[in-house]
A and B are shown apart, each in its own frame.
Chain A
């Protein structure tokens, strides 16, 4: 979420190279600071076989010891080791549909490192399934189930929290088949054509009452509610031209558009869970 536009520009460069089937060499050597969300975003993109277009991603690792360890364990350059509770990086999973088995599996792994036992987190399960389901509609119209989502789970051993980073590279929240109609009607009713305001409307749940547009989707409001209910912390969203840090109630308009949806949140020892 820091230097978002620079990160998105870099991602775009990578995507363009993949498209042209150019060899890609990612030089991480001199990186000294990379936030968890940027790490998982990079991992999600480089491990996405659709995006990489068959191009083998090569690179070097940061000199910084902590970052080096993260990238080696992540398998970002195709040398992923077996999952191990002592490692930072836990797993990346992908699918096209809402898959409860995957969500359950990753929650069990996450809770084992945070709470020292496999546990359930109903709020995270809910957020994961809703994110996965939304992907079905973030693809091109009438192509439900076409787009793939990627979920990366990462354990920050220093702060002892687990990051969940969910990414789909579809059309994004504001251009999805579900939202197109709403966005245009919202703009004509309220006179605002700013996706930051649209997002605020969506997550506050005011959408239906202010516009009277029938809308059954409760996915995004639910994900925001999970933050308020302490199911997880540090919730962030990037989609199209909007970046939102919902924990801080900060909404930023991006000059560089992100093609898809990126959702990020963290589970820490103070969040709600059940045995």
Chain B
């Protein structure tokens, strides 16, 4: 299946922030609204996989990841649609993909 790519270090920032803009720059909520959600919608419409490359940033605060990926799962009220249509790459941090998957799966439990 064809892919749409997001490389966060190039498409958004090398220094991701936390959850909300009020807490600091480059928040997860902004990444969700400006990049992740539109690209995901495009991927679904075009029947493509959204491929997300997490490498080459300083790291990812949990609240950034939860706001972005948990937020996307809350938007669709469904974790399955995300996990079915997204692929992740993280060589810098071996725990990152399982963390993101966890946030997606737990997003609608709250």
Contacts and interface: CB of A to CB of B under 8 A. Distances in A.
Nearest to B27: A98
A125 B62 CA distance: 10
Interface stretch (A76-84, A129-137, A160-168, A250-258): A129-137
Contact of A103 (B22, B58, B62, B64): B58
Interface in A101-136: 101, 103-104, 107, 120-126, 129-130, 132-133, 136
- What interface size band does chain B fall in? 20 to 34
Contact of A229 (B17, B61, B95): B95
A262 to B, nearest CB: 20
Contacts of B64: 129
Interface stretch (A25-33, A213-221, A234-242, A263-271): A213-221
Given A99-B24, A130-B18, A136-B23, A218 B63 contact: yes
A222 interface: yes
Q: Which size class do A's interface residues fall under?
A: 20 to 34
Nearest to A218: B62
B23 A100 contact: no
A161 B95 CA distance: 24
Interface of A: 97-101, 103-104, 107, 120-126, 129-130, 132-133, 136, 144-145, 208, 214, 216-219, 222, 229, 274
Given A98-B61, A123-B59, A130-B62, 20 more contacts: A100-B16, A100-B17, A100-B24, A100-B25, A104-B15, A120-B59, A122-B93, A123-B93, A126-B61, A129-B17, A132-B24, A133-B23, A133-B24, A133-B63, A136-B22, A136-B23, A144-B22, A217-B63, A219-B63, A274-B93
